[in-house]
Amino acid sequence: QLSASPFAFGKQLTLLDVYIAVARTWGPRHEWFATNTPNFTAVADAVCALPELHKVLKANDII
């Protein structure tokens, strides 16, 4: 079971967390993720909220 506290493995950001945030943007996936994978959505939201990642996430159309 994936936790979302706030990241997949707890309080430490990992590459998996960033991957989840990116995967949510492939195709029309935001609604599907929100409905079917609330913990993935919470992790993706936590990643996208990190100010230190805003520049790279915006440059790659993640946020």
User: What percentage of the chain's residues is helix, strand, coil (to nearest 5)?
Assistant: 55, 5, 40
- Single pTM value for the model: 0.86
In tens digits, what is the pLDDT along the chain, a chain of 63 residues? Answer: 777 899 999 999 999 999 999 998 887 778 888 899 999 999 999 999 999 999 999 999 888
Domain positions in the chain are: 15-59
Whole-angstrom CA distances from 11 to 35, 43, 51 are 24, 11, 16
The gap between the terminal CA atoms of the chain, to the nearest Å, is: 26
